[in-house]
Structure 1
């Protein structure tokens, strides 16, 4: 299989607790359920791309533990090429500790584990995958020098490069912007990148102006229930979100990115690809969990707004 979408990124086991509300600092609350679910931004995005019909490959690392076997197995079950997913001795697999409340909001703590072992050389060793790909997707749950290497290599090879800057705590290195075709932050990530508090379409436009001035070619700011904002040098387009009843917002952003990447790899235009990403993300929030919530291509194509 020749992968059309290659994801360089993280694989985490999500340890998910549900409670009526999120705890305050120092507070203990009683949970209502617990589940162990394969996740990680990179793996979630790879699953989303694969379920949207794009031949997909993953570049990453897991620990030599039971979680690592399960994480790799979950990707293989989706038909994802895992030849570049390495098992590293002496480290744990990455984990994410997630609490979801009755309003479908969440708090997440990540322990990198094997994701910290995704060094530039591992990406270089998988260069044949990058050369075959049409779309390269990166996030920030692996070391920054690895992300920088992957972005630049994608640019040199002439691939469509998507960066989901998550998690992020401040501005990106200036040189990264020229290597990225689509920068895809959510509201909080846009705030971290720009200092503009994004809580409306108008404020998203202000953040996008900042990112374009910093050198971004095209920006898509995902806005949850408000949809998403696309921006480039010619202006802005707001895409309203499909109306659904949210159950769990975990992996909604990852679902958008992966579905968007898959649509681009199928040859769809960026507006059509954004629409696909939005429907996929909307369907994902109607279900619990990270990877289990991600819809198929048939579900996205068959979606009818209530």
Structure 2
């Protein structure tokens, strides 16, 4: 019996968000909206998103002993996340500087702060959390050596989900346990170390050849593509009016990881995750925008989007609005 449906190992940042009419060019200054401060970070985002959907969730992360760190802890606890694995001190809390344009698209610069101090030793000291978790999810806003230590300490039967963001080349040791590896086009290109062409199915085949057990490729307004050794399927996007895409990819990943741990197949879990990500973009902010199960049904309708088999090239689902974006 697992104590947790999902353990997220990753970053916790304070998101400093400014709305802009357009992004500045080199050497240019533009005026923006009032500064808003939100709890964020890909790891903390995923933990809150999963907990709001009803998953028993824990977070292994590191924050500073400062106001931003206290903000992050409060957000986790309010969502129902177990924060016994959140360590404090060693550096200031990480900060993400985010600009959001009128279409809802964002640009982000991250100062890792305490996230860069989450160490392999911290993972070993938290072995009890890993042993008690049905699914472990990680990203790359923490040191790659720490993610490697997570992989080495997984319990037998625990599923590992990785979103390599920001992307780097991955070792065979990490790739071999990814189930799935979740990437967008840019991340796929970096992981593969070469251009990816036009067809997402080609990306999926090339990524699977590197060793992961399964792959999910997020395609923005075109939904997602899922693939393993036996099946390739496309998952249509959900038409919604995007307000702010910040954190939508994290909501997608959290929902996917949780549903996989609950026993759903990859295609069905991804169809639900697309709906969660779509609901998240209809509100401003990251963690404050993450929906409950009831809110997902309200925004996206009561029936999960159908995922159809895709023997040919990925085509756009023909829906207006935006899909999941990171």
TM-score normalised by length of structure 1: 0.94
Q: Which runs of 5+ in 1 are unaligned?
A: none
Match of 2:71 in 1: 70
- 2 CA distance for matches of 1:157 and 1:113? 33
- 1 CA distance for matches of 2:173 and 2:117? 23
Q: What's the secondary structure of 2:35's corresponding residue? A: strand
1:164 and 2:163 matched? yes
Match of 1:182 in 2: 180
Match of 2:253 in 1: 257
Match of 2:127 in 1: 127
Q: What's the secondary structure of 2:147's corresponding residue? A: helix
Q: Which runs of 5+ in 2 are unaligned?
A: 303-319, 321-326
- 2 CA distance for matches of 1:53 and 1:266? 12
Match of 1:2 in 2: 3
- 2 CA distance for matches of 1:21 and 1:152? 44
Match of 1:106 in 2: 106
Q: What's the secondary structure of 1:137's corresponding residue? A: strand
- 1 CA distance for matches of 2:85 and 2:177? 23
CA contact (8 A) 1:84 1:126 kept: yes
Query: 1:15-94 alignment to 2 at 5 Å?
Result: 15-89=16-90, 91-94=91-94
CA contact (8 A) 1:10 1:42 kept: yes
Residue 196 of structure 1: CA displacement?
3.1
Match of 2:324 in 1: none
- 1 CA distance for matches of 2:190 and 2:236? 23
What's the C-alpha RMSD, in Å, of the aligned pairs?
1.6
- 2 CA distance for matches of 1:211 and 1:270? 16
Match of 1:304 in 2: 301
Match of 1:207 in 2: 203
Match of 2:272 in 1: 276
- 1 CA distance for matches of 2:195 and 2:73? 38
- 2 CA distance for matches of 1:86 and 1:132? 18
CA contact (8 A) 1:276 1:300 kept: no
Match of 1:226 in 2: 222
- 2 CA distance for matches of 1:82 and 1:225? 34
Residue 44 of structure 1: CA displacement?
0.4
- 2 CA distance for matches of 1:157 and 1:26? 53
1:130-176 alpha-carbon deviations (Å, 9 max, x no partner): 1111000000011110001102322x5321110011011x4212221
Residue 197 of structure 1: CA displacement?
4.5
Residue 100 of structure 1: CA displacement?
0.8
- 2 CA distance for matches of 1:197 and 1:286? 31
1:182-212 alpha-carbon deviations (Å, 9 max, x no partner): 10012221122223347xxx52211111111
Change (3 A) 1:196 1:236: farther
Match of 2:139 in 1: 139
Q: What's the secondary structure of 1:32's corresponding residue? A: coil
Residue 298 of structure 1: CA displacement?
1.6
CA contact (8 A) 2:7 2:130 kept: yes
- 2 CA distance for matches of 1:4 and 1:129? 11
Q: Which runs of 4+ in 1 moved over 3 A?
A: none
Residue 179 of structure 1: CA displacement?
1.8
Give the total of aligned pairs. Answer: 300
CA contact (8 A) 1:151 1:179 kept: yes
